[in-house]
Amino acid sequence: MTILPLTRCQFIIPFAAICDAIGAPTETLLTRFRLPASLQEKAEHYIPILQAVRFAEAAQRSQGITDIGFQAARQLQFCHVSEKMRAIIRFSPTLFIALQQLCKWASLEDTTVSVWLERDDHRVRICSKVAGTARVPHLEHSQWLQNVYVMHIVRQFAGPHWVPATFAFEASYEPSLETRSFWQNTRFMSGQNSSWIDIPVSFLDLPNLASETPATSHDNGVGPSGHEIVSAVRLMLPSYLDESIPTVAEIAEMAGISSRSFQRKLSSAGVSYSDLLDGVRFENAAKLLRDTDARIIDVAFSSGYSDPAHFTRAFRRFSGITPREFRGKSKPQ
C-alpha cells in the first residue's frame, strides 16, 4: 500500500512567515517544492508533508536560519489546530479523555500520523509517528510542530505556561544552544523510536479549563484516513486548483513511486487522474457557489479553469445544470 503523508497548510504557514520576515524569496521556494504560494487562504487544505519538510530545510540552509522548526513551532497556538480537533478537546472533561480523543483523531491534522500513550509509574509519554517518512532527513522540522501541538493540547488542562520535562525527537537532531536556553529546565532527546513529550501521571485527571459541556460522542466519521493513495490525492488537490496543478509524474514523485505505479493504483480504484481532478474541481466549485457570493468567473478560476465556458460545460456534466442554475437552487428562498 502506497502512503502519501499529508498535513494541513496551516502547519507550513509559520515557516513561510519566518522567510517573509527576513526578506527571503518565499514564493520562489514554495514553487520550487510544488507547494501553493497562497497558504493563508488554504490553511485547512492538505499538502504533502515531505515537500513541506524539504521546503523548510532549503529555507533554513539557504537563508542561514537557526532551528527553523523550533522557530516555527513557537508561532503555533491552540487556535491553529483544526476546528474539529479544537471542539473535540474542548468537550473532553479531563486530560485523559482528551488524550484518548487525540489518539483517535490525530489524522485530522496529519493524515498518516499515529498518536499513542506509553505509561510508567510516574509519567506518561504522548508519542507520535508519521507513517511513510522512514529515513527521511530533517524530520525535526515536522517533529517540532508535532510535539508543540501536543503541548498546547495539554495546556488546555495544565495552564498556558506549562512546559514538558522532555522533548524527544525521532530524528537524529541536536537543538542549538539558543533553542535549549528557551526552555532551560527541559531535556532534549534525539534518535528515539517516536517523537514524544511527557506529563506526570497526576495530570491525567486534570479538568478542562474551557467552560464547555462534555459531548457524548465524536463517532461521526470525520477526518481523513490518509492510508490510500486516491483519498490522499483527493485531499491534496484543492490546495493547487488556482495555481499550477501537479502532473501525474509530480504526484507520483511526491508519493515516492513511478508514474506507471501511480496510474495502476488509480486504475485499480476504478478512476483516472483526470476523473479525480474533475471531481475535485466540481466539489470545490459547488462549495463556492453554495457558500459564497463569488462571481461565476472567479469560481471558475478558483477551481482550476482558465476558460469560463469550459467550466460551465464541465460543471453541467456533473450536475446536469449550469453553475448559475446550481447557485439558484442552493440558495435559501
| Residue-averaged pLDDT of the chain | 88
pLDDT attached to residue 101: 92
Q: Which of 142-146, 185-189, 248-252 has the lowest mean pLDDT?
A: 248-252
Residue 218, pLDDT above cutoff 60: no
Q: In the chain, where are the structural domains located?
A: 6-205, 272-333
Q: Do domains 6-205 and 272-333 have the same CATH topology?
A: no
Q: Does domain 6-205 have CATH number 3.30.70?
A: no
- pLDDT confidence bin for 234, thresholds 50/70/90: confident
CA 105 to chain centre: 13
Q: Which CATH class is domain 272-333?
A: mainly alpha
pLDDT attached to residue 3: 74
Higher pLDDT, 269 or 15: 15
Long-range CB contacts (< 8 A, 24+ apart) of 70-74?
A: 70/144, 70/175, 70/176, 70/179, 70/182, 71/14, 71/18, 72/14, 72/15, 72/18, 72/141, 72/144, 72/145, 73/14, 73/144, 73/145, 73/147, 73/148, 74/148, 74/182
pLDDT attached to residue 48: 95
pTM of the model: 0.81
Give the model confidence (pLDDT) of 34-92 as tens digits. 999 889 889 999 999 999 999 999 999 999 999 999 999 999 999 999 988 998 998 88
Residue 306, pLDDT above cutoff 80: yes
Number of C-beta neighbours around residue 267 at 10 A: 11
Cell triple for residue 218? 465524536
Cell triple for residue 220? 461521526
d(CA 70, CA 54): 16
- pLDDT > 70 in the chain, percent: 93
